[in-house]
Structures are given as C-alpha cells and as structure tokens.
Structure 1
Amino acid sequence: MIRRAWRLAGNGQLWLAALMAGAIVIATGDITPVEAASSGDVVNVRLGGAPNQTRLVIDLQASAKGELLSREEDQQRAVLGLSGIDVGAALSGQGQGLVKGWKLDTTAGMTRLRLDFSRNARIARRFLLPPADGISTYRYVIDVVAADAPAPQTVSAKTVADTAPIPPALRTEAADKPRTGKKIIVVDAGHGGHDPGARGASSWEKDVNLEAAKALKAKLEATGRYKVIMTRDSDVYVDKVARVRIARNANADLFISLHSDSGPNTATKGASIYTLSDSGTERAARNAMNRGDWALPTGATDKTVGRILIDLTQRATKNRSATFAELMLDNMDGTVPLLKGSHRQAGFVVLLAADVPAVLLEMGFITNAEDERRLNDSGDRNRMAGQLVKAIDQYFANDVRYASFGFVAR
C-alpha cells in the first residue's frame, strides 16, 4: 500500500528552535485575519494587539525581503519595502492595538507596506518565517511597540521540574543534563497493576502490552542508537499523567504507547495508530495555561506569551507525530494486519504533551482469536518490533532540528 508521504520541514523548523531558545517574544494577543486580504502573492494579513505591543503577519506565496524606507525617528508611521513579491491590486485595512491602519500596494515596481500608528510607536523587529510543519505560506512578521516601551521580554526555554507524582524508580534527571548523541525513546506499556485493560480468551491486555514493550526496548537498544525509558517494566500501575511527565522529564524525542484493542465483534481485527486530535490539542493547551501541566514554564506573567509558545510547539509536535504514525503504518503494512482507517485521532491523556511527539499503537484486537494469538507469540512480537524500529530509524533520518522545549535550550 502506498501512503501519502509526510515530510518534516527540515531547516524550516529553525525559526521555532530559535524562538524557543530564548528569542524575543512579543505578547500580541490573538492574531486575527483581516477579511478579504488576498491579492497577488499576499494570501492574508493578520494582526494581534495588546496596549503596548502589536504584531502584524503577512502570509505570502513567495519569499520576501524587507527594507525600512521611512525614517527610524518617525513615530507616527512606518513604510517598508518588500522585494520579491507582487501585491497586484492594492490592499488596505483597519489596524489593531498600536496599528491604526495599514496599506499594501506596488509603486514603481516595489511592493510597499505603510503602517499608521494610533500613537507614538516604533518597529521593534521584523523577520521572515519560511513554510514549515504543514504551513504552506511564508510569513513576514512585524512587531510594533510603543515608543516608550521597555525592551521586549526575553522568554527562557529552560525546563524546570514538574510536580505531578512519578514512581521513584522511574524518575530521571535527564532534563537537567546535557543531551547525549542517542535519541531518547519512551515506551509506554498501557495499563498494569489493578488496571488490567481488555480481556481476551486467554490473556489480559496489560500483560500483552508489557511483553511487546520489552521486545521493542530490546530491539531499539540493540541498534546502539537509542536510549529507551519504559514507563513500567513490571505489573504495576502508573497514572496516565505520570506517564506523560516521565516522557517530558526525560526530554524524550518520541513517546510510543502500546495497547491492545477490544470490541464486541470478535471478527474485528487489525492494528491502528492514534495521534492527538484537535480537541485533545485544545485540552492540552487549557491544561497548560490553567495548571501548568505538560507545558514549559516560560517565566512570563502574560498568559498570551505562554499560549503563543504552546500553540507554536503543539503545531510542530502534532505534525511530527502524524509523520511518525504514517511511517509506522508503512512499515507495519504486510507484517501486521491493519484495521481499516488505521490512522486515527483521539484526545488520549498519554498523547497530550505539547512538546513530545507521541503515538498510541493499538497492536491488534485481543478479542479476536487470530490477533490474540499473534499478540502472544514471541516471534510475531519481535517482527512487529523490528518494523517499528525501521520506522523510528526513518523518522530520525529526516535531518530535523527538534524544537522540543528542553532540547533547543541546551
């Protein structure tokens, strides 16, 4: 089966890495699109504003180079020249925050952007973001601050210890140590202890999951390329939230949760993979903003800054998770029976970390006789683990600068 190719954005991620690694962040509030702002290479114009800070984003079909044409001491307006793009018909609109209004047009072969300020203001910085992580457009970003505003806040990306309980034997200090050359994979055996999961004809899900996790760990460590952390390595119960924290505290590069499916129809069989749904993404953001769960403590008092950081990271993480899920399915196809519609989305707790690419693999239906036999067969387990290792190798073969909070801060 030929599946749609998913590709990571390569160096297009560097802007996010730079942002997370202590770049200046402007607290701009929600960035909202301006209606009917589309002409030539301009796809959209968006603004977001706070009393002393406003961001304007121009979505473009092509790369642009900006040049300040007005005098720097002019605090009532600013004019920028944007070379490399064509506006077509002139565009204009009302502003927000410090931007009273804006206009884009082409004069003498050069595209110009005029910004009229609502009070004395200046451009603090401007930069171009390339297409990346599912975003097909270039984005020219302009940050405007009040003329008398202090220097913009610098947001540190240093990870601090989380407070949710983690079993002592599973605690790690990896987040406080420099990264080694090995990628860190967290393998999560679903259920355990007093939570047995689904019941098959002759086995419990918790036991099947644990054996599969051990097989995957052995295969990964045999390559010499990976450090593997298991959320449990015996028949114990580990809280779902603690499983997420284990991955975050370890600065994990991937989180793989292994489960066995079940259903009332014993004829249903096949594996499937879940990545985070849109509703789960919003839930994770709410957790992060309201309780600080699974998000980087930014040190910022302005919640807008924190939400922008979380949104940026979630977008990258969600797309990386989807990329990995497709690689898993491509490698498993032909070795493991796949359920129809095998790539699915859900808001499972173990997928909610904003900065760790995560998948939940339902390895098969324990309520189906054929799948249960396969799930309990060591040979089949090892074959599946081998295919998963191939998918992991392919995922990391994409030369990507990972933008998880803890990594880029090093």
Structure 2
Amino acid sequence: MSGQTDQMTLFRPLILLCTCIIFGFYAGADIRDVRVIGDGAPTRITVWSDISHDAQAFLAESGGERSLVLPLQGETQSRAGNGMGGVASWALSGGRLSFLLDRPLVVSRVLSLPPTGKETAWRIIIDLETVSPARFASIAKRDMQRLARAESDARKASITLASAEVAPTEPLSPRNRKGHGQYVIVVDAGHGGKDPGTQSAKGLLEREVTLKAALYLKELLDKDPRYTVRLTRDDDRFIELEDRVTLARKWGADLFISLHADAAGSPDVSGASVYTISERGERRIDKEASKNDWKIPIETSGSKVVGSILEDLVKRETKSHSAAFAEDLLPELKAAGPVLRSTHRNAGFYVLLAPDVPAVLLEMGFLTNAADAKRLQSSSGREKSMQAVKRGIDKFFDRQEVLVASD
C-alpha cells in the first residue's frame, strides 16, 4: 500500500500537467521551426514546438507521391518550407505537418524531448533511412490505416473532453528539492543466478559485471542526499523480468536503469549504448500492465474515457522522460569511454515496459570485445563508466528542477 501511495504522490503533479495539456489542445499551439538535414542515409527532421506533442510519424502513398505525416494537437499557423536528403518539402496546415518525400524512406526513430538548458521549446526528432519502394509501400499501407484511426480517436477525445468534467486533484506542497531522498533511483543488475547472460572469451560472466557495476553505482548515488537508491538484486540471484518492473513501481521509482553487457558476432564491435522503448515495445505495455496489475494511479470523476486519455498522456510523458534521460546520458558515456556509432537505440526489452516509470537499458560494452571486457572487469573502468551514469542522472534531475521552478 505504501508503494501505491508513493506513486500517487509522484504522479499527482503529472496528472495536473496532463489535464492542462488536454484542455490546451483546443486552444492550439504553434510550431516554432522545422528543419531537415542529412542525405537520406540517414535524414533527420527536427520540429520545435511550444507544447509537447505525441510524437507519432506515419508514412503515406497516394497518386504516386510518398509522404510522411506528423499529426499535431490543436490548430497551427499554416506555412511551408524546403527540405533535403530525400525530403523535397514540408507543409504545416490544419493540425498536420506533412513532408513530401522524393525517395522511399522509413522512420528509424522518433523522439520527443522536453526543453533543456537554453533550449526553451519542445522538440520532436525523426530519423529516416532509405529503403526499397516495395518496403515503403508495405509500411505506408499499414500506416495510412493507423493514421486514420489516430485522427478519428483524437476527434472523439476532443468531443468527449469538451463535455467531461475531470475531478480536481488536490495540489501538493512542493517537495524540498534539496532534501534527502527526493528522487528514487532503481538500479537493475541484469541477469543473475541461473541466468549468466553473455560471457567473454576468458569466461567473464555478464551477471558478475552488472552486479559489480550496480553496487558501485549505488555507492556513488548514496553519497548524494537527493537520491534514495534501490537495487533489484544485490547478490547473485535470478529475478524474473516482470518482478524487476513491479519492484520499481512498488518503490515509486523516478528512474529505472537496467545494466547489461552486450555480445556481437564480431570481436571488433565495441562501445556502450542506451536503449529506450521502441514502438513495438509500446504495443506490449497495456497487455503486460493488465497481466501484472500495473495500474497508473490517476484520479478522475469516474469517466472511463477521460481516465483512458490521462493514462495515455502519462505513458507518453514517461516515454518522453526516458528519451530525455538517454540524451542526457550519451555525452557523459562518450566522455568516459567508447560508444557505438548509433548510441541511442530503441527496443522492446521487458524491463522498459513500465507505463509510468522512465526507464533505460544501458549496455556498458561488449564482452565479446577484448578491450571492452578488460575495461568492464577492471575497477577503474567500471568506476569511470558508473561515474558517467551518475553525471547523467544529475543532469537529468537538475533540468527537471529548473523546469518545475520556472513553472
């Protein structure tokens, strides 16, 4: 019961924010800027907005023209611009941001990032890569159906919310932002016990590497009075994946970090990488949440429709915070050691499925690479890596405090 209370405390401010966003949809908010860079392998679209948007991008094909469509909340000022790298042009009109493509491209990643530092706008980042015409046509056929459903649901939600009453949520007194244990960090040492994970050529086991790293990261975080640190395991035992997520939610986690070490077919592959939830993984959240009773603690006047919309907003906010933390972590990892070229990746790993806990999975390096294995086995290498994680955590929560203070 205490865990549920903690989560309600954690999400009441978020629910208030989500409620404001819902009714803010009808007033509309303008897009500040749209930029396209790249050469098609890859191409990146960046959109700057006054508010957070649900970052969903859909491919479409009609009359011989290929396009990418980004639905937006509310009405926006119409405008247009030129593109590059496979994007011929873009146009903003009637709640849609459309990109005309001059070659078959697919979406490899979509991120929604909150304001940070001197960046005062929300950003949507869409990465595109070139594919065959047949592959594009197959995805576009599916996406056009998904886009129609999404826009239909948005219209229905607008009508329902216009007449629904959201029960007021009791404002909370601000927490002492420098007080002890303000943020709960759950550190998950991957694998363990009967599940050894991968191993190096010299027999170094992933379960050993992750446990030592988790224990050292806890030691680092325990020295900072802002954090309360929980470990899903502190010895060589096996914990079921769903139990790791359940524990994080029970403890009211503000951030969940799962530590792992990777493996590759080639011994030359090395470097750290960070994973956040993929689109395919998102489609599993509701099923697993129902199966494991991962209920999002929200308060409404009893309207199931409003409750459903608020739950969706919480999940979107969780995804956004996960991506924001990953982006805060990347430069720290790069400063501490080798990283993969595509450092921020997306996957449907089970430990990323919590609907209301920002989560990342960190692959600290490759045990199949001799240099990485040596680095991860050594005290100095492990400490350098986890110190980078601590700096990333600090940066993430420092920014959250600035945003809350500015509000």
TM over 0.5: yes
In the alignment, which residue of structure 2 is the partner of 1:318? 319
1:287, distance to aligned residue in structure 2 (A): 3.2
* SS of residue in 2 equivalent to 1:268: coil
Question: What code does the residue aligned with 2:295 have?
Answer: A
- CA RMSD in angstroms comes to 4.0
352 and 156 in structure 1: CA distance in 2 versus 1, 3 angstrom threshold? farther
Q: In the aligned structure 2, how far is the partner of 1:367 from the partner of 1:206?
A: 14
1:152, distance to aligned residue in structure 2 (A): 3.3
Q: In the aligned structure 1, how far is the partner of 2:303 from the partner of 2:292?
A: 13
Q: In the aligned structure 2, how far is the partner of 1:287 from the partner of 1:304?
A: 21
Does structure 2 conserve the Cα–Cα contact (< 8 Å) formed by 1:24 and 1:154? no
1:283, distance to aligned residue in structure 2 (A): 1.4
In the alignment, which residue of structure 2 is the partner of 1:88? none
In the alignment, which residue of structure 2 is the partner of 1:58? 74
1:268, distance to aligned residue in structure 2 (A): 1.2
In the alignment, which residue of structure 2 is the partner of 1:189? 189
Q: In the aligned structure 1, how far is the partner of 2:295 from the partner of 2:282?
A: 12
* SS of residue in 2 equivalent to 1:333: helix
Does structure 2 conserve the Cα–Cα contact (< 8 Å) formed by 1:295 and 1:353? no
1:338, distance to aligned residue in structure 2 (A): 0.4
Deviations 1:203-260 (A, max 9, x none): 1100110001111111111223211100000000111111111111111111100000
Does structure 2 conserve the Cα–Cα contact (< 8 Å) formed by 1:25 and 1:153? no
264 and 317 in structure 1: CA distance in 2 versus 1, 3 angstrom threshold? same
Does structure 1 conserve the Cα–Cα contact (< 8 Å) formed by 2:275 and 2:361? yes
Question: What code does the residue aligned with 1:209 have?
Answer: T
Does structure 2 conserve the Cα–Cα contact (< 8 Å) formed by 1:23 and 1:155? no
199 and 361 in structure 1: CA distance in 2 versus 1, 3 angstrom threshold? same
1:309, distance to aligned residue in structure 2 (A): 2.1
Q: Which has the higher contact order (CA 8 A, sep 6+)?
A: 1
In the alignment, which residue of structure 2 is the partner of 1:224? 225
Q: Does 1:349 align with 2:350?
A: yes
Does structure 1 conserve the Cα–Cα contact (< 8 Å) formed by 2:270 and 2:369? yes
25 and 345 in structure 1: CA distance in 2 versus 1, 3 angstrom threshold? closer
Does structure 1 conserve the Cα–Cα contact (< 8 Å) formed by 2:206 and 2:260? yes
In the alignment, which residue of structure 1 is the partner of 2:244? 243
In the alignment, which residue of structure 1 is the partner of 2:16? 18
In the alignment, which residue of structure 2 is the partner of 1:264? 265
When the two structures are superposed, what TM-score results if normalisation uses the length of structure 2?
A: 0.58
319 and 275 in structure 1: CA distance in 2 versus 1, 3 angstrom threshold? same
Does structure 2 conserve the Cα–Cα contact (< 8 Å) formed by 1:134 and 1:319? no
Structure 2: tracts of 5 or more residues without a match:
1-10, 27-72, 79-93, 95-119, 126-157, 171-178
Does structure 2 conserve the Cα–Cα contact (< 8 Å) formed by 1:318 and 1:357? yes
In the alignment, which residue of structure 1 is the partner of 2:283? 282
Question: What code does the residue aligned with 1:186 have?
Answer: V
Deviations 1:63-106 (A, max 9, x none): xxxxxxxxxxxxxxxxxxxxxxxxxxxx9xxxxxxxxxxxxxxx
Q: In the aligned structure 1, how far is the partner of 2:280 from the partner of 2:391?
A: 31
In the alignment, which residue of structure 2 is the partner of 1:200? 200
263 and 399 in structure 1: CA distance in 2 versus 1, 3 angstrom threshold? closer
Greater helix fraction, Structure 1 or Structure 2: 2
* SS of residue in 2 equivalent to 1:185: strand
Which of 141, 146, 167 is the equivalent residue of 1:154?
A: 167
Does structure 1 conserve the Cα–Cα contact (< 8 Å) formed by 2:181 and 2:228? no
1:355, distance to aligned residue in structure 2 (A): 1.2
* SS of residue in 2 equivalent to 1:58: coil
Q: In the aligned structure 2, how far is the partner of 1:230 from the partner of 1:15?
A: 26
Question: What code does the residue aligned with 2:190 have?
Answer: G
1:19, distance to aligned residue in structure 2 (A): 5.3
Question: What code does the residue aligned with 2:235 have?
Answer: S
Q: In the aligned structure 2, how far is the partner of 1:285 from the partner of 1:402?
A: 29
Equivalent pairs counted in the alignment come to: 271
Question: What code does the residue aligned with 1:318 have?
Answer: K
397 and 311 in structure 1: CA distance in 2 versus 1, 3 angstrom threshold? same
In the alignment, which residue of structure 2 is the partner of 1:127? none
Does structure 1 conserve the Cα–Cα contact (< 8 Å) formed by 2:298 and 2:311? no
In the alignment, which residue of structure 2 is the partner of 1:295? 295
Q: In the aligned structure 2, how far is the partner of 1:24 from the partner of 1:321?
A: 19
* SS of residue in 1 equivalent to 2:246: helix
Does structure 2 conserve the Cα–Cα contact (< 8 Å) formed by 1:24 and 1:153? no
Question: What code does the residue aligned with 1:152 have?
Answer: E
Q: In the aligned structure 2, how far is the partner of 1:294 from the partner of 1:247?
A: 11
* SS of residue in 1 equivalent to 2:242: helix
Q: In the aligned structure 2, how far is the partner of 1:334 from the partner of 1:23?
A: 39
Question: What code does the residue aligned with 2:193 have?
Answer: G
Structure 1: tracts of 5 or more residues without a match:
1-12, 32-56, 63-90, 92-129, 136-140, 146-150, 158-178, 404-410
Question: What code does the residue aligned with 1:18 have?
Answer: L
Q: In the aligned structure 1, how far is the partner of 2:22 from the partner of 2:325?
A: 30
* SS of residue in 1 equivalent to 2:360: strand
Q: In the aligned structure 1, how far is the partner of 2:400 from the partner of 2:394?
A: 11
In the alignment, which residue of structure 2 is the partner of 1:399? 400
